[in-house]
Amino acid sequence: MIYGSIAAVGWGLSAVAATHAARRAGTYAAVFGGQGLGVVVLLLLTAVLRPSFAALDGRAAAGLAGAGLLGLAGYLTFYRALEYGGAVGLVSAISATYGGVTTVLAVLLLGEHLGGYGAAGVALAVAGTAAALARPPGAAQAAPVAVGEPIVGVAPAPSRFRGLSRAGIPLALASALTYGGSGFLLGDYSGRAGWLTSALVAHGTSVAVLLAALPFLGRRQQSRLPASGIAWAAAAGLTDVVGLLAFSRGGAAGQVAVTAAVSSVYPAIPLVAGLAMFGERLSRRQLAGVGLIVAGLALIGLR
């Protein structure tokens, strides 16, 4: 219960910080700052805990590298959805359905048993996502919220977004799918190579790819990085690592189901923050959809 609560707070605060970071520094800088800080924390933990790398063979390394690449795609699409004006509460809730994706993959590819709770949770998460994404009556006639023309890697000036932009919908869904694939690979191989070793390889792969892409971004994008955006990116990365470590510690203590169920309520934090900090106004249908998603994730955790 305690580790799950810490994970929920960490991931919830990370989503809020990611919103500020993406809208101030742009997707690339925000993801790079957060992932880079995460790798630094993992390296420090590795130096202190000295985990064994003996089980990290070629197959495990390739699988964990794949988890890192899929995870990077998840971060990029998640941050991009926020940068494009997606409501942080809705984007976070939709992205959080990666847990259902991971569960379905585990059932299909590893032969794991879903159970009644898990099946009901997946159904609720799907129904909640459909409700959250449905256009309310009259939405087509509503005036869109104006945002600056996006430049790749550079966010428009911060503004008070009111809903999930149409551009953010496929990005939020893509983040759920890629996060789910990453979680499946990470969970599969971490049982063999160890959780800290696995997290370090996966995060290290994503940062290596971001570094390799740096020369291709152009000087204009590299020069427009406000200090506030970088600070928010660092905060997002740090709180994300706190959530990851708390979740992993709960699993190591033999409380996987409870930890997963409790941590799955984290979209409630960005939902409240979106209403209070970003002036977002969600319809009743969208709020009901978020509630169904959170309930579904909790049931999946109890499977």
With vertex at residue 73, the alpha carbon angle to CA 175 and CA 247, rounded to the nearest 5 degrees, is: 65
The predicted model gives 66-74 an average pLDDT of 93
The whole-angstrom separation of Cα 121 and Cα 100 is 8
Residue 240 has φ and ψ, to the nearest 5°, of: -65, -40
d(CA 30, CA 19): 9
C-alpha span between 100 and 119 (Å, rounded): 9
The answer, yes or no, to whether residue 196 has pLDDT greater than 90, is no
- Predicted confidence band at 139 (pLDDT cuts at 50, 70, 90)? very low
* DSSP conformation class of 217: S
> How confident is the model at residue 159, as a pLDDT?
40
CB atoms within 10 A of CB 34: 26
Query: Would you say 176 and 96 are in contact if contact means Cβ atoms under 8 Å apart?
Result: yes
Greater confidence (219 vs 283) lies with 283
- CB-facing half-sphere around the CA of 165: CA atoms within 13 A: 16
Q: What phi and psi, each to the nearest 5 degrees, are found at residue 267?
A: -60, -15
pLDDT of the residue at 151: 36
**What value does the mean pLDDT of the chain take?**
78
8 Å CB contact between 65 and 198: no
Q: Percentage of residues in the chain with pLDDT exceeding 90?
A: 15
Give yes or no for a contact between 99 and 301, defined as CB atoms under 8 angstroms apart. Answer: yes
Whether 298 contacts 102, CB under 8 Å: no
The whole-number average pLDDT for the span 150-169 is 48
* pLDDT (0 to 100) of residue 95: 86
Contacts of 120 (CB under 8 A, 6+ apart): 296, 299
- Choose among 84, 90, 175, 102: nearest CA to 134: 90
- pTM value is 0.80
Burial 254-280 (b: 16+ CB within 10 A, else e): ebebbbbbbbbbbbbbbbebbbeebeb
Q: Which of 76-90, 91-105, 155-169 has the lowest mean pLDDT?
A: 155-169
Residue bearing tokens 């690592």: 241
CA atoms of 206 and 35, how far apart (whole Å): 8
> CA 78 from chain center: how many Å?
6
Token representation of residue 53? 């790398």
- Beta bridge mates, 167: none
